[in-house]
Structure 1
């Protein structure tokens, strides 16, 4: 049994074109996520899907029971792969994720998905704080343009800043190709 798992965070329909909260670069990130997912499945390494739903129907995206809150077809769960439902950015908060990982003896995580600056950041930091060894697949993650205090921050810069911060003290940050070579 492997002590490694792939965690796919929030690759849900609302983040894709036509959704309520489309991300910059989501198509490329999803294609890369699909490549990593295929390798994990091929090697029989555990895969865990994280799905976010807000708790009220007036949410800006991921409304309960909506098509937008469903996992995108590019990374749909197969063969009993668990899906962890969360209501907060941190996939460990008020979920069974830690118990699921610990129950399988998993100590190493590869994390990808969306968004760089919220759920990926929160989940990676929590995982490291809980003692997991984390790898982040940076080009299998998407985000969006932001604004702060009158300054527009392009998604590319948002993503780069968060990957730089995570690689500094929290995780090994790699490309899809580097992940596939490991």
Structure 2
């Protein structure tokens, strides 16, 4: 194992077109995430999958025992890969993610997944705050349109704003091609 881990955040069926919260560009983001995962497996990097699950019995999204909560097959975890279940946007909060990284001697994390403005943002900031060298592969992440003050902010602008903020102070933001070339 290397000192690097790929953290695959919430690439779950709920975010795909048949789910209850489809994201703009999720298919391309998931395909890019799969490329990053494949390279990580080939180089001996740790791969940790994060799965969001709501705790409420009749949650409107990510409800237990539904197909929406399942990790999408394009990034299906291997049997040896950990799946960390979370209930908050930050994958470190109330989970054993940090312990798993420490036990594995991980110093650097690479983050892919969904949603750019929520779980990718929260997890990336927490990773940097915990002292990990953090890389966000932005075209392996997806988000949705947001509204604020009666205005709709298109997903591409939401994504760009959050990636710009993360790149400003929390980590390196790169493309799949550039990441795989290094």
- TM bracket (short chain): over 0.9
Equivalent residues, number: 182
Partner residue of 2:169?
169
Partner residue of 1:146?
146
Residues 1:87 and 2:90 are matched in the alignment: no
User: Residues of 2 paired with 1:106 and 1:30: CA distance?
Assistant: 24
State the secondary structure of the residue aligned to 1:83. Answer: strand
Question: TM-score of the superposition, structure 2-length normalised?
Answer: 0.98
Matches within 5 A, 1:89-168: 89-168=89-168
* CA shift for structure 1 position 44: 1.6
* CA shift for structure 1 position 79: 3.5
Question: TM-score of the superposition, structure 1-length normalised?
Answer: 0.98
Q: Provide structure 1 residue ranges, at least 5 long, that are not aligned to the other structure.
A: none
Residues 1:41 and 2:64 are matched in the alignment: no
Partner residue of 2:29?
29
Moved over 6 A (4+): none
State the secondary structure of the residue aligned to 1:68. Answer: coil
Matches within 5 A, 1:13-24: 13-24=13-24
Q: Provide structure 2 residue ranges, at least 5 long, that are not aligned to the other structure.
A: none
State the secondary structure of the residue aligned to 2:68. Answer: helix
Residues 1:7 and 2:7 are matched in the alignment: yes
* CA shift for structure 1 position 62: 0.5
* CA shift for structure 1 position 160: 0.1
State the secondary structure of the residue aligned to 1:106. Answer: coil
